[in-house]
Structure 1
Amino acid sequence: MGAYFDLMGFADGGWGVDMLRATAVTLAVALAGFGLGSLFGMLSAAASLSQIPSLRHLADGYTTVLRGVPDLLVIYLFYFGGSAVITQLGHLFGAQGFVSAPVFLTGAMAIGVVSGAYQAEVFRGAVLALSRGEIEAAKAYGMGAFLRFRRIILPQAARFAIPGLGNVWQLVLKESALISVVGLVELMRQAQIGAGSTRKPFTFFLTAGVLYLVISLVSGAAFRAAEARAMRGIRRAS
């Protein structure tokens, strides 16, 4: 046990600082991807619920393709596709050789696009769960579309969406480990580096698993607290 704490400690020769720094990178890329996914998801949900057939077909195609394609493939497409575009642009301005796309931005965008497909279904289901009578009453009262969305639809849809969004967040957190394949030194990549340097893979991967679990438990508690707060004053069926 002492050897473990020496290896994962913060003194000279310890990997504690590196592992915590990588954990922060994991959190950052996961939060960025989840935030972008929320934006994509809301836009896709709005399109799928619109009265315009072309928008509904576009939203359906987006969710079908992104939920059916492996996440790793999406990351590769974003990274190598983005790098190819940046390289060509660089050549126009005199740059030589291969120009790599920013790995953090690439990872966040890939995670955002994928998680957006799942969040779109969460948002769409939450809106469909609302009482149509309240929306019709708001229309009859003369509320405009934006005011209806801000005061009627959004607050109530959030109550139904929070549990589903919590599940999507857990998926995003695990997907962040895939970004290591394009060179981002997040928690999984740092564990691989430490394991290769010390020849103690079990120690590093076990530590990475514990750190992932801590993040998951804390964020899960935050989502449960948010759900409880959103459901205050709502009578639940017994």
Structure 2
Amino acid sequence: MNDVLTLISFGPEGWGDEIVQGVLITVSLALATLPFGLVLGFLIALAKKSDEPSLRNAANIYTTIFRGLPELLTLFLVYYGVQIGIQEGLKLVGVEAYIEVNSFAAGMVALALVFSSYASEAFLSAFRGIPQGQYEGGYALGLSHRKTMGLVILPQLVRLSLPALGNLWLILLKETSLVSVVGLSDLVRQSGIAARVTKEPFLFFGVACLIYLVLAMISSAGLSRVEAWSKRGEVRR
């Protein structure tokens, strides 16, 4: 037992510092990805309900691609594809250089692409759950289309899409572990290094599992509070 406590302790003899650093990177990556994924997903949902066929087709192709590809392959395409693309572009102008993409940025982009493709469906379902009379009521009050969207539709959209978006956030939090394969020192990578060095894989991967469960429980509690707040104006029947 003392050996276990020593291994997970903080300081030169333990791996607690590295594990905490990995947790911070994992949470930072998820939080950095979330706003980009939400905004992009919302724009894709707007394109899907647009009257313009080209926008609808482009949005449908986008979601088909990134919902169909495994997340790990998407990460590899972004991480290695961007490097190759930049290097080939430089060669066209006569510059020979090796470019290495930041693994955090590549992970954020790849996860945002996948997250947005699923979030767009959550937003689209929420749009379909809002009666057409809500739009007509806003226009009848003299509100412009932009004000109707901002003051009437958007609050209802957030409330209706929150349960699905909450599930996507939990999935995103877990999928950050994929970025460890491109060298980002997240929780999984730090746990793997500690496991290899100490020959204690069960201990450190078990600790990683517990940390992910704690993060999920904290997220679930926070999402429950946000959902309750979003429903505060509903009339009880």
Q: TM-score surpassing 0.5?
A: yes
Amino acid at match of 2:44: S
Deviations 1:70-122 (A, max 9, x none): 000000000011111233456658554x3211110000000000000000001
Work out whether residues 103 and 184 of structure 2, in 8 Å CA contact, stay in contact via their aligned partners in 1: yes
Deviations 1:18-76 (A, max 9, x none): 10111000011111122211111011001011111111111111111111110000000
Cα distance in 2 for partners of 1:60, 1:37 equals: 16
Cα distance in 2 for partners of 1:171, 1:65 equals: 18
Cα distance in 2 for partners of 1:159, 1:9 equals: 43
Cα distance in 2 for partners of 1:54, 1:89 equals: 29
**What's the secondary structure of 2:100's corresponding residue?**
coil
Name the residue aligned to 1:221: 221
- Is residue 2:199 matched to residue 1:206? no
Amino acid at match of 2:113: V
Worse-matched range after superposition: 3-12 or 36-45: 3-12
Worse-matched range after superposition: 172-181 or 134-143: 134-143
Cα distance in 1 for partners of 2:96, 2:15 equals: 37
Cα distance in 1 for partners of 2:87, 2:182 equals: 16
Amino acid at match of 2:156: Q
User: C-alpha displacement at 1:171, in angstroms?
Assistant: 0.9
Amino acid at match of 1:50: S
- Is residue 2:151 matched to residue 1:183? no
Work out whether residues 126 and 157 of structure 1, in 8 Å CA contact, stay in contact via their aligned partners in 2: yes
Cα distance in 2 for partners of 1:88, 1:214 equals: 44
Name the residue aligned to 1:23: 23
Worse-matched range after superposition: 133-142 or 225-234: 133-142
Q: How does 1:56-75 map onto structure 2 within 5 Å?
A: 56-75=56-75
- The total of aligned residue pairs comes to 236
Name the residue aligned to 2:230: 230
Structure 1 length as normaliser, TM-score? 0.94
Work out whether residues 66 and 113 of structure 1, in 8 Å CA contact, stay in contact via their aligned partners in 2: yes
Cα distance in 2 for partners of 1:33, 1:43 equals: 16
Name the residue aligned to 1:162: 162
Cα distance in 1 for partners of 2:30, 2:208 equals: 16
Cα distance in 1 for partners of 2:90, 2:16 equals: 39
Name the residue aligned to 1:174: 174
Cα distance in 2 for partners of 1:116, 1:132 equals: 25
- Is residue 2:143 matched to residue 1:143? yes
Work out whether residues 25 and 186 of structure 1, in 8 Å CA contact, stay in contact via their aligned partners in 2: yes
Deviations 1:182-203 (A, max 9, x none): 1111011111111111111111
Q: How does 1:68-147 map onto structure 2 within 5 Å?
A: 68-88=68-88, 96=97, 98-147=98-147
Amino acid at match of 1:29: L
The gaps in structure 2 that reach 5 residues or longer are: none
Work out whether residues 134 and 153 of structure 2, in 8 Å CA contact, stay in contact via their aligned partners in 1: no
For the structure 1 residues 148 and 221, does the alpha-carbon distance in structure 2 shift closer, same or farther, using more than 3 Å as the test? Answer: same
Cα distance in 2 for partners of 1:195, 1:166 equals: 32
Cα distance in 2 for partners of 1:205, 1:24 equals: 17
Cα distance in 1 for partners of 2:180, 2:213 equals: 18
Structure 2 length as normaliser, TM-score? 0.94
What's the RMSD between the two structures over aligned residues?
1.5
